[in-house]
């Protein structure tokens, strides 16, 4: 009795052997893509809160991102973790020093052809009467109070500014109020070009007035608004 009737030929065994040989590579490729890992990534220059939105854009559904101190806690696949690490290395650059100049009265604004007193050394420690100068750093919130003049009426303006450099533009988060109570929150955002003056229109929130049946309706006066000029220069 011939054994060939009971055992398959080499040509018949070849497909099965190829599946057995290649199956570990297929399993490993799928596991690297699908296997979830938890990693701790530490920033060197910038606080994680400043980079959180950029890192979140790289995550996929089901991934997670947390912050503990100066560390990111990332839950994602192994392959995606490589992309997150590379992006974090590019984003975590040293914080830049910034010079902010605020002109509270745009009517006294000087055009670009006028001499710029900010180029003098003495101006680094003092401000011209028409505009105020402040030194700060990326990501630091700066509280600015409008100087009170002799003929000023009403409450001075209070600004809270925070600037972050994104590529070649500045992302400015700001808030404002008039009055002595509390600090404004960063509720507004503008994208500015470094080294250029920009006008900000500060729209005041309407005041809700309650009225009883015995009182006359108050006159509908539009809320007051302010316009200021602001310029941000990168010092290093």
139 & 71 share domain: no
Q: Range of 101's domain?
A: 97-111+123-204+224-234
Supply the pTM of this predicted model: 0.62
DSSP for 215-226 reads SPPPP-PPPPEE
Question: Are the C-beta atoms of 214 and 90 separated by less than 8 Å?
Answer: no
- Give pLDDT tens digits for 190-213: 999 999 999 999 886 654 445 545
Question: Are the C-beta atoms of 191 and 163 separated by less than 8 Å?
Answer: no
Question: Are the C-beta atoms of 159 and 102 separated by less than 8 Å?
Answer: yes
65 & 104 share domain: no
Q: Does 213 reside within a domain?
A: no
218's tokens = 């108050």
- Give pLDDT tens digits for 143-162: 998 887 655 556 788 899 99
Burial 21-40 (b: 16+ CB within 10 A, else e): eeeeeeeeeeeeeeeeeeee
- Give pLDDT tens digits for 11-30: 554 544 444 444 444 344 44
Question: Are the C-beta atoms of 33 and 65 separated by less than 8 Å?
Answer: no
């Amino acid at each position: 009795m011939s054994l060939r009737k009971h055992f398959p030929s080499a040509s018949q065994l070849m497909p099965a052997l190829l599946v057995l040989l290649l199956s570990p590579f297929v399993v490993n490729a799928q596991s690297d893509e699908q296997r979830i890992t938890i990693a701790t990534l530490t920033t060197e220059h910038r606080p994680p809160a400043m980079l959180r939105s950029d890192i979140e854009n790289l995550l996929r559904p089901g991934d997670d991102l947390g912050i503990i101190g100066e560390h990111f806690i990332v839950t994602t696949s192994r392959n995606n973790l490589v992309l997150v690490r590379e992006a974090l290395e590019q984003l975590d650059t040293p914080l830049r020093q910034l010079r902010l100049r605020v002109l509270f009265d745009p009517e006294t604004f000087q055009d670009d052809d006028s001499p710029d007193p900010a180029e003098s050394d003495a101006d680094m420690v003092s401000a011209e009467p028409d505009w105020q100068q402040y030194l700060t750093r990326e990501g630091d919130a700066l509280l600015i109070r409008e100087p009170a003049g002799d003929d000023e009426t009403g409450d001075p303006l209070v600004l809270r500014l925070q600037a972050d450099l994104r590529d070649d533009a500045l992302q400015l988060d700001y808030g404002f109020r008039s009055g002595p109570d509390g600090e404004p929150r960063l509720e507004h955002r503008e994208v500015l070009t470094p080294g250029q003056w920009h006008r900000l229109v500060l729209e005041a929130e309407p005041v809700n007035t309650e009225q009883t049946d015995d009182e006359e309706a108050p006159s509908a006066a539009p809320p007051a608004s302010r316009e200021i000029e602001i310029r941000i220069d990168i010092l290093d």
